[in-house]
Amino acid sequence: MRRISTLKIIPFTYPSGTVAWRLTGRLLGKIYQMNFPTREEAEVHMSALLRAATQGKSGPATRLAQTIFATDQELQAAELAHMRLKAALPHASLTTAVDFYLAMNTVVVTPIKADEAILKFNARRIARGNEEETTVTTGTVLRKFIGQKRPKKGQPPPPLKIKTTDQITRENVSAFIFDESVKRRTRRDRYDLLHNLFEFLVREKHMLKNLVDDLDRPIYKKQGNATIFALDQCQALLEAAATEPGGRDHPVQGAMLPYFAECMLSGLRPDEAQRLKPDWSNVIFENGVILGFRAKTGEDRQVAMHDQLPGILRQCKAAGLQPGYFKRAVFERIQRKAGVRIPVTLDDGQTEEESLWDNDILRHCYASYAWAREDKPEFLTQHKMGFLMQNMGNSERVLKRSYINGTVLAPAGTAYFQMQPASMGGLGTRVSQTRAKAQAPAPATTEQTASQVFRADGN
């Protein structure tokens, strides 16, 4: 007799290294091939397909397709609960587990939609004082966790992998955090973010417990010296920033020069630079400081402007530029023009871009070159650490562990803070987007640039 089903569930590994569970095979002549983040979800879906296929069939292998649940979603949730219980306690009864829960638990948990949970979490963070810009990154990471993708033009949004908070399991949490295709720091950051989200959902009675508490926090520890750019690469970044126009919202030459100068020649964090007000009220030229923003601790802080930075920013202000202007596309064009975003030919002949840009690399440069110089009183050995702690907002331990590359020599430290673009005469000149694209430079080659970066191994 011809089999009505050859469906089976097998593990499947994406090219990124992420493991999923694939439902594959034939059912009543129809071919199925679908991926799920957990085996339990794949089994629930396969059960639903088999139930539908055997509707009205008779025989010893067929069960009556009757249920008290009003919707398929309720039935699938019950099946998923049964599978999770059996996976942890093979001999346990679902009825006994429910009776125990009702007897011992006084908290009534109300699941909500996963995307709604993210919106509520970010709204709470903004209400308590977090900058609204920081919730953009938070939302992006959490939407990736639940599998939310942008719909194609004219198409409905694709279905979520995790639709409601009661579909969050230890398995899909663990798979997202410990994804080997991402860096160790990203794994740690994902752990912390999900921990905070689940704490919020537990307090709001949308989850029973914080599933991250059962997982070990990923270890992230930098090894060796911090990665920095060589002097000529730093100069190339300033030159590129001074000539590259901004986006459609600010199409003028040198639109992002203030951002690069602030990040390279002061202790500002990138997000702090982006929050500077367009009217330059945060930049106090008379006192030589930049202020008016909150540090990670929530306290107001200020950084000193010294050497060439005040002069560069004065010219930027006079040209009508904005101190905190940032656009990702412009940022990447400047990287290409400076030769720190380069094409790499793969073994199969295809080409992809490789960025020599490490996280916080401009702050690494500022700390490392400042630590090396000895040409001013504030940079003498007995003063320089206090100066850096004040202007970077980090402790001595963090600066030595994560920011200072001790291989930089004193003459290089002095030369670094004398850098400025060779010509700033065209700053603020309006440039059409057509002309901007036509002027896009040919990217540098790997051989021209890769050897110029001080890597963490000191080479």
In this prediction, residue 247 has a pLDDT band, given cuts at 50, 70 and 90, of: very high
Q: Rounded to an integer, what is the distance from CA 200 to the centroid of its chain?
A: 20
Whether 271 and 315 map to the same domain: the answer is yes
Question: 413 and 358: one domain?
Answer: yes
Q: What is the pLDDT of residue 64?
A: 44
Residue 134 is part of a domain; what is its CATH number? 1.10.150.130
pLDDT on residue 173: 93
Domain co-membership, 197 together with 332: no
Residues 239 and 191 both lie in one domain? no
Angstrom distance (rounded) from CA 299 to CA 293: 8
The string of pLDDT tens digits covering residues 375-418 is: 877 777 778 898 999 899 888 988 988 899 888 999 999 999 99
Phi, psi at 355, each rounded to 5°: -100, 135
Q: Is residue 411 part of a domain?
A: yes
- Please determine, for residue 353, whether its predicted confidence score (pLDDT) is greater than 50: yes
* Residue owning tokens 């004398």: 418
Q: Of the residues 214, 240, 264, which one is the last residue of a structural domain?
A: 214
Is the pLDDT assigned to residue 10 strictly greater than 70? yes
DSSP-derived letter for residue 432 is -
Please state the domain count of the chain.
Answer: 3
Report the alpha-carbon angle 401-404-405, nearest 5: 110
When comparing pLDDT for 171 and 54, which is higher?
A: 171
Domain's final residue, options 192, 214, 236: 214
Q: Are 260 and 378 found together in one domain?
A: yes
Question: In which band, very low, low, confident or very high, does the pLDDT at 445 lie, cut at 50, 70 and 90?
Answer: very low
Say whether pLDDT at 455 is over 60: no
Geometric angle at alpha carbon 240, from 234 and 131, rounded to 5°: 80
Q: Give the pLDDT confidence of 227-237 residue by residue, as tens digits.
A: 899 999 999 99
Q: Using CA atoms, how far apart are residues 172 and 252, in angstroms rounded to an integer?
A: 46
For residue 107, tell me if it sits in a domain: no
Q: Are residues 269 and 414 in the same domain?
A: yes
How does pLDDT run across 257-313, given as a tens digit for each residue?
999 999 999 989 888 899 899 999 999 999 999 986 665 555 678 899 999 999 999
Name 350's Cβ contacts closer than 8 Å, sequence gap at least 6: none
The model's pLDDT over 137-176, given as tens digits with 9 standing for 90+, comes to 888 899 999 988 777 777 777 778 899 998 998 889 999 9
DSSP states along 14-55: -TTS-EEEEEEEEETTEEEEEEESSHHHHHHHHHHHHHHHTT
> For the residues 198-222, what does the mean pLDDT come to?
86
Per residue in 303-350, pLDDT (tens digit) is 999 999 999 999 999 999 999 999 999 999 999 999 888 766 656 666
Bridge-based pairing state of the strands 300-304 and 289-294: antiparallel
SS3 label, residue 391: helix
Residues 305 and 362 in one domain: yes
| Pair 210, 240 in one domain | no
Say yes or no: 91 and 123 in one domain.
no
Residue 219 placed within a domain: no
- What average pLDDT does the chain have? 82
Neighbours of 314 (CB within 10 A): 13
Per-residue model confidence as pLDDT tens digits over 406-422: 889 999 999 999 999 99
Structure tokens at 393: 């907002």
Q: Are residues 267 and 340 both part of a single domain?
A: yes
- Residue 420's Cβ-count burial label (10 Å; 0-12, 13-18, 19+) is buried
221 is a domain residue: no
Residue 61 forms part of a structural domain: no
Q: What is the mean pLDDT of residues 439-449?
A: 47
Please report the pLDDT score of residue 61 as a whole number. 45
pLDDT for 60: 46
Residue 66: its pLDDT value, please?
60
Assess whether pLDDT exceeds 70 at residue 457: no
Does pLDDT of 55 surpass 70? no
Residue 179 domain-assigned? yes
Residue 222 maps to a domain: no
DSSP three-state, residue 377: helix
Judge if 204 and 254 occupy the same domain.
no
Asked if the structure places residue 34 within a domain, the reply is yes
Range of the domain at 140: 114-214
User: Same domain for 245 and 302?
Assistant: yes
Q: Which of 71, 70, 51 is nearest to 61 (CA)?
A: 51
